[in-house]
Amino acid sequence: MKILTVIGARPQFIKAAAVSNVIRKKHNEILVHTGQHYDENMSKVFFDELGIPKPDYNLSVGSGGHGFQTGSMLIKLEEIYTSEKPDLILVYGDTNSTLAGALCGSKLLIPVAHVEAGLRSFNKAMPEEQNRILTDHISKYLFVPTVSAEKNLKLEGITEGVYNIGDVMYDGILHFKKVAEKKSSIIDKLELSKGEYILTTIHRAENTNNINRLKNIIEALNESEVHIVLPLHPRTKKYIQDYGLYFSHNVTVIEPIGYLDMIALEMHSKKIVTDSGGVQKEAFFMQKPCVTMRDETEWIETVENGWNIIAGTDKQKILDGILNFVPTMEQENIFGDGTAAEKIVNIISE
């Protein structure tokens, strides 16, 4: 069977690392990188560290508006699909790469498999939410990571081809935690004391594109007066400069980092403060308290389980979360058993 996989952003590289290795034991995989994330530290380093095969195609789409990005991908993907004639299109998550990959397959009547289907934030102002919904409704195979994702699809009338296989990112964490312990030197490089710093990420457009939201976040970090380590996304850096904002002495700002370094920072942090969906999950996997700087989350299980709180961009809520939030519940196993990749490939093979 020929499976064509479309990826383009950092979270998708991580998921593909788990699944592609299993696919290639049984099938022929064509890997297409859209180039949605093109910065060296946001793209190439992930392929190198995670052992992802070199892409067969790189569309080099780069940055731009949603219409430009998605349209450019569609044009280029159609040429590749027509030439390669795959039996199945495999897409991950909720980016413009996800939607373009799925939509192009659907238009050409090629079956689409969506990994991480069924997630909902119930906020359609988020581009990611639109991408999730549209992709789910044109996919033939929907691989959901949790029970609540399965329920979301059922409420939308999608019951055929739905498989709860657990979370492929959990597969990756189980493997790459061991690798990070051996290979990452970032804790020593930054001279960090284990368990004595807060790891923070800020990248979501709803926060970076809004001066008030971004200002509240930065003020909360500054006023916490605890040691914050912040790998700074290029887009966030640009907006901070444009808005004339700054960080105080307690915030250590570093360049974007590879996956192994990120795992090491997560593993040895005291707490994680983020607006990333993937990092929320990784915090849960690492058993770290998480403060989410969004108004909602698609990973509602982490909140219900008591290890994640939704602070939005209210400065006082973020500050209170940084200083005072401590989980009071034991974690439940809600993301599967670490064999999601094998289950996906077995289902596709059957």
Strand ranges of the sheet holding 88-92, from the earlier edge strand across to the other edge: 57-58, 28-33, 2-7, 88-92, 112-115, 141-144, 162-164
Q: How many CA atoms lie within 13 A of 50 on its CB side?
A: 29
The alpha carbon dihedral of 13, 206, 67, 128 has a sign of: positive
Are the C-beta atoms of residues 81 and 105 closer than 8 Å to each other?
A: yes
Tell me the catalytic residues. 203
CB atoms near residue 156 (< 10 Å): 12
What's phi and psi for 78, nearest 5 deg? -60, -40
Q: How far apart are CA 76 and CA 34, in angstroms?
A: 9
d(CA 81, CA 107): 11
Alpha helices in the chain (DSSP H): 10-26, 44-50, 66-84, 96-107, 127-138, 147-155, 168-183, 186-189, 205-208, 211-224, 234-243, 259-267, 277-285, 300-304, 315-324, 340-349
Written as one letter, the residue type at 97 is S
DSSP string, 147-206: HHHHHHHHHTT--TTEEE---HHHHHHHHHHHHHHHH--HHHHTTPPTTS-EEEE---HH
